[in-house]
Amino acid sequence: MSYLVLARKWRPQTFSDLIGQEHVSQTLKNAIDTGRVAHAFLFTGARGVGKTSSARILAKTLNCEQGPTTEPCNSCPACKEITEGNSVDVFEIDGASNNGVDEIRELRDNVKYLPSHSRYKIFIIDEVHMLSNSAFNALLKTLEEPPPHIKFIFATTEPHKVPITILSRCQRFDFKRIPLTMIVARLRYIIDQEQVSMSDAALTMVARKGDGSMRDSLSTLDQVLAFCGEKVDDAAVVAILGVVARQLLLEVVRLVIARDTSGLMALVAQVDASGCNMRNFCNELIVQMRALLLLNSAPKSADLLDLSELELQESLQLAQNCDLVTLQRFISILLKAEGEMAHSSFGRLLQEMALIRMATISPVVTVDELLGKLNALTAGGSNAPLAADPSPVSYRPAAQRAQAGSQNSVPRTAAPVTPRETAPAANHDTADSKRSWQGFVAFAKARRPMLGTKLEKASPLQTVDNALKIGYHKGTLELTMMQEEESRKLLLELAAEYFGTAMTVTIVTLNGSEESLPQSIAEKKSAESARSEQELRIAVENHPAVKATMSIFGGEIVSMKKA
């Protein structure tokens, strides 16, 4: 007799055998008990979670000679025929290979005939989303108003591809991924019945390989048993499945917390020698770090993790030795390394760099701690206010400052900027003058902004006795533009309007050697700005809080800005 794989041998035959889908089985049993069984069902969910098995169980409960009943007897001819797949009244149709409109028309013609010897004629269409649009349209009317002896059961892994017109005519049941603990318990029951010796750790590796699918887990178990026989060794399971043992991942976390880079490199060499893909190892490590993150932030979130009881206890202990911020930084480093591995042939190098970075990462000082230190220093020192608010102040790290060198660093102290000594020229206006040069420039700038900007850069040589004499340095753009006839004419008009009398205007070319000439307004503004900035820097550098902050961080003042 040919060998029957475990996935078929241990396929659920009753609702009580269905693992992890209690919400579906209980609803269907209640519907049968109350006689409220719909004419069409849609079972959706991931692969291997029990959709087709549930469809067969439902067919048996409806056609069982003892029923309709919530638990089929599995001994009457109707139940046996459905279990063996040769019932003439239960049709299992593959939607992928029978997706045309002709097959659905044939089905529709078959619907009007009564069942041969069963209570209902049941159509189970697997992967129903593969039907064509024409096939769906041909099924609509029959699906909405079928004969009383007809039941439809659809199964699909992609319900979003099923037209809404079909969905609205069915009762939909969403099948969940089966929790790891439930899969492990079911596998334990099966291997006990098969008289196989296997540890819980090995069963957990098999179940995790199934990724929430009971069928995939059983197929993986079949592969392991074919390799190991009736006595399964943990190392053999690791070798055949190509997975990373959970204990190895936990040991990596312990070494990272202990900052043992030598031990980490030895473990990476061990993983590489075992033939495990380094990117897969990184993915497994990310999953383990996620578990620690969840356990650290929410200790009661164990049901969100696919961990066995032993793994959960060990992970809880490790989570208590790490703070939340550090775990987040670990995950960020691993995610970056995993992304780089997709485009690099140096997977081992990237993994080693990531683990070294994690083991040598500097502890994070929280903002609250820093503010507490600064407040303590400020309270213990002088409370004298700054001459001007220096915030925000930007800093460079000490290492960067040292690397930049003394030539590129900003000096801590500097001599005050001394403006050019000015001496009043003959007939220069004074503060007591009724009409001043500063007033005229402001007046001109309000009327003619471009002209006023040029006047700000002029040296006022004479502004009395109905004469206006100004100077520009040789070669400047302002000198060229002010010598134009249009500019001179506009200047005469503005001067006459401001001073209240006709004015003569003279524009002089300065050769740069006139040290005693009065400063232009632009030069005065520049000198005042430099002096204010120098005073601000001195005040900031001498403030106790700033000195303490620079001492703590090893920083340097780069720029300042008034509030």
- Give me the residue spans of the domains in the chain: 6-174, 180-241, 246-359, 437-518
Class of domain 6-174: alpha beta
Report the share of the chain in percent with pLDDT over 90.
Answer: 27
Give residue 554's pLDDT. 66
Lowest-pLDDT choice from 94-108, 346-360, 426-440, 471-485: 426-440
Give residue 424's pLDDT. 40
Tell me the per-residue pLDDT of 345-386, one tens digit each, with 9 for 90 and over.
898 999 999 999 999 988 766 667 777 777 776 665 544 444
For residue 519, report the phi and psi dihedrals to the nearest 5 degrees: -75, 150
Q: Is the pLDDT of residue 158 over 80?
A: yes
Give residue 515's pLDDT. 60
Which residues, in sequence order, are CB contacts of 112 under 8 Å at separation 6+?
A: 147
What integer is the mean pLDDT of 151-158?
93
Task: Answer whether 191's CB lies under 8 Å from 166's CB.
Answer: no
3-state secondary structure of 422: coil
**Mean pLDDT, rounded, of the chain:** 81
Residue 259, sorted as left (phi over 0), alpha (psi -120 to 50) or beta, turns out to be: left
Beta pairing, strands 150-156 & 121-126: parallel
What integer is the mean pLDDT of 117-138?
90
Give residue 378's pLDDT. 66
Name which of 524, 521, 532, 525 is nearest 560 in CA terms.
532
Question: How many Å apart are CA 25 and CA 292, to the nearest integer?
Answer: 34
Mean pLDDT comparison of 114-118, 399-403, 465-469, 474-478, highest-scoring range:
114-118
Alpha helices in 101-211 (DSSP H): 101-111, 133-144, 164-167, 180-193, 200-210
pLDDT band of 401, cuts 50, 70, 90: very low
What integer is the mean pLDDT of 23-44?
92
SS3 content of the chain, % helix, strand, coil (to 5): 55, 10, 35
Class of domain 180-241: mainly alpha
Choose between 338 and 473: higher pLDDT: 338
Is domain 437-518 given the CATH code 3.30.300.180 in the classification?
yes
What integer is the mean pLDDT of 234-262?
85
Task: Answer whether 481's CB lies under 8 Å from 443's CB.
Answer: no
Give residue 513's pLDDT. 61
Q: Is the pLDDT of residue 4 over 90?
A: no
Residue with tokens 């993986």: 220
Give residue 411's pLDDT. 37
Choose between 409 and 365: higher pLDDT: 365
Q: Is the pLDDT of residue 201 over 90?
A: no
Choose between 62 and 380: higher pLDDT: 62
Task: Answer whether 241's CB lies under 8 Å from 209's CB.
Answer: yes
Choose between 221 and 365: higher pLDDT: 221
Q: Which CATH architecture has domain 246-359?
A: Up-down Bundle (1.20)
Mean pLDDT comparison of 249-253, 500-504, 546-550, highest-scoring range:
249-253
Give residue 428's pLDDT. 40
3-state secondary structure of 346: coil
Q: Is the pLDDT of residue 503 over 70?
A: yes
Give residue 369's pLDDT. 72
Choose between 367 and 39: higher pLDDT: 39
Name which of 314, 345, 523, 513 is nearest 417 in CA terms.
523
Element (H, E) at 488: helix 485-499
What integer is the mean pLDDT of 14-28?
91
Tell me the per-residue pLDDT of 528-555, one tens digit each, with 9 for 90 and over.
888 888 888 888 888 877 777 777 776 7
3-state secondary structure of 462: strand
Structure tokens that stand for 526 in this block: 């520049």
Give residue 354's pLDDT. 93
Q: How large is the C-alpha radius of gyration of the chain?
A: 43
Give residue 550's pLDDT. 75
Q: Angle at the Cα of 314 (from 309 to 320), degrees rounded to 5?
A: 125
Give residue 421's pLDDT. 40
Q: Is the pLDDT of residue 173 over 90?
A: yes
Task: Answer whether 278's CB lies under 8 Å from 341's CB.
Answer: yes
Structure tokens that stand for 83 in this block: 């279990």
For residue 542, report the phi and psi dihedrals to the nearest 5 degrees: -90, -5
User: Which amino acid appears at position 497 of this protein?
Assistant: E
